Amino acid sequence: MSRTEIPGSDVLGPQALAAARRCGVEVDAVTGEAAHRSPVNGASLGGVRWSSPAEVDTAVTRAHEAFLAWRRTPAPARGAVVKRFGELLTQHKADLGELISLEVGKITSEALGEVQEMIDICDFAVGLSRQLYGRTTVSERPGHRLMETWHPLGVVGVISAFNFPAAVWSWNTAIALVCGDAVIWKPSEQAPLTAWSCAALLDRALVEHGAPPAVSQVVVGGPEIGEELVDHSGVALVSATGSTRMGRTVGPRVANRFGRSLLELDGNNAAIVAPSADLDLTLRGVVFAAAGTAGQRCTTMRRVIAHRSIAGQLTERLAAAYARLPIGNPMAEGTLVGPLVHGAAYEAMTKAISRAESEGGRVVAGGERVLAEAAEQAFYVQPTILTMPDQTEVVRSETFAPLLYVMTYDEFDEAIALNNAVPQGLSSSVFTSDQAEAELFVSAEGSDCGIVNVNIGTSGAEIGGAFGGEKETGGGRESGSDAWRAYMRRATNTINYSGELPLAQGVDFSV
């Protein structure tokens, strides 16, 4: 297992600030006393200024005023702003990718891929700005027409997590803007420079097109800032990405004030590997989905359910591949596994491994911390494979780290039942050359997840499809398809052009 050199403690702070300045951030204005460290080496990136809870109310007031003007702007003109934002993202792709690596530890290709995802959703949203379709329906009354129209919703609050510090905001923001909404973003505390840099580029696009600047705002801070957004009656929709535990708080609090919530929560994603599977293809799909982003994606593969006849061979090949994974500096060429985001993530991983072993599991690859001597305050770990006798309690829980549990099955129906027998329902996949198995897996009798794949892993969704999951994953949908409807309000209209007033259902109310 190769390891790449960790940069010194005095290098990354100036590097991050320089990238933020190139994106248009006024660094002096965002400098403060809140600690801000890089998971790459544990060193400070410089203190940052956090917003106060009172600033959230001010932001909502400004956002609502901007919304009143923005909703009158034709949707294609709103799309032109998003188009320009996409162009600026393209120009500053390297800067944003660098910030993402520095602040959350993603390897360079994944960090650049995240920015590309932002560019792609801008392209999607620009097209959508000319396709916010309603529908016309026949009426039972002569001389009447029924139609359905969609209108801007209001202020959208976006609460994003560290693992996709920019892309998830862009999914929400690009769509919300073309729908005519204003957006207030509470980013992860781990990635404020990434957030301010993205916002600076969008601000530039807004100014160039004469749009109200307050349709996009950022409020940086701890959980209390998110709570203000969640509870504020002026926020029509709260889109929150995080843990199921967080969602149990956010959902009821927003519902209590009759607001809307869009929740993207835990994933506990499985791949079924059938006897007919192409094991070379399976190996590549599983390793990326399980070890990519150091296991810190909501779509990370956490379970392999392999047919008993090939489970041993597959496990051996996975263990050999894991032994070759280069671990270390995420910005170094060739690195495939960067750091965990902080020490708490490492503690959660070690506890999960111990618990799995107490429940009959056996570590067959990885499981150790590495590079501690080079960066004491950074947490690099070997991606870990454990074989499990069955789907125990630890397997049913999500651990946000590169832990992969391997189990076996005999009959395909049993494998589907194991896939579904967890509280989460985000992503799933099957590796098979049997068409009947593939069709069954994607049918109503198959996987109960929001994302159901055949012969690819559980990670790497494209922006054209709606992203989200079922059960304790929250039920929300973001990004493509008809996810735009969450950011608008629907009206059913009846147009009477008959000159008469017949009532529906034959009711007679003559006076």
- Delimit the domains of the chain by residue range: 50-265+474-490, 269-462
110 is catalytic: no
Distance CA 60, CA 63 (A): 5
User: What are the CA-CA distances from residue 185 to residues 87, 267, 320, 475 (Å)?
Assistant: 21, 23, 42, 21
Which residue's entry shows tokens 């002096």?
28
Distance CA 199, CA 183 (A): 11
Distance CA 404, CA 362 (A): 11
Whether the Cβ atoms of residue 358 and residue 347 lie closer than 8 Å to each other: no
Class of domain 50-265+474-490: alpha beta
Residue 180 CA from chain centroid, whole number: 22
Distance CA 37, CA 18 (A): 16
Q: What is the pLDDT at residue 510?
A: 85
Q: What is the pLDDT at residue 1?
A: 58
- How many Cβ atoms are within 10 Å of 495's Cβ, its own excluded? 12
User: Side chain identity at 433, as an amino acid letter?
Assistant: S
Q: What is the pLDDT at residue 2?
A: 66
Distance CA 247, CA 230 (A): 11
Q: Where are the alpha helices (DSSP H) in 74-135?
A: 75-91, 93-104, 108-128
Whether the Cβ atoms of residue 341 and residue 296 lie closer than 8 Å to each other: yes
Who contacts 373 (Cβ-Cβ below 8 Å, separation ≥6)?
none
Distance CA 489, CA 236 (A): 10
Pick the CATH number of 269-462 from 3.40.640.10, 3.40.630.10, 3.40.309.10, 3.65.10.10: 3.40.309.10
Low-confidence ranges of the chain (pLDDT < 70): 1-3
Distance CA 287, CA 300 (A): 10
**What backbone torsions phi and psi does residue 328 show, to the nearest 5 degrees?**
145, -150
Q: Could you write out the DSSP letters of every residue in 250-306?
A: HHHHHHHTT-EEEEE----EEEEE-TT--HHHHHHHHHHHHHGGGG-STT-EEEEEE
Q: Which one of 264, 437, 472, 478 is the catalytic residue?
A: 264
Whether the Cβ atoms of residue 402 and residue 291 lie closer than 8 Å to each other: yes
User: Tens digits of per-residue pLDDT, 126-179?
Assistant: 999 999 999 999 999 999 999 999 999 999 999 999 999 999 999 999 999 999
Q: What is the pLDDT at residue 511?
A: 80
359 is catalytic: no
Measured in residues, the chain has a length of 511
Whether the Cβ atoms of residue 339 and residue 40 lie closer than 8 Å to each other: yes
Q: Which one of 23, 198, 298, 449 is the catalytic residue?
A: 298
Distance CA 132, CA 129 (A): 6
Who contacts 469 (Cβ-Cβ below 8 Å, separation ≥6)?
264, 265, 267, 424, 425, 426, 427, 449, 450, 451, 475
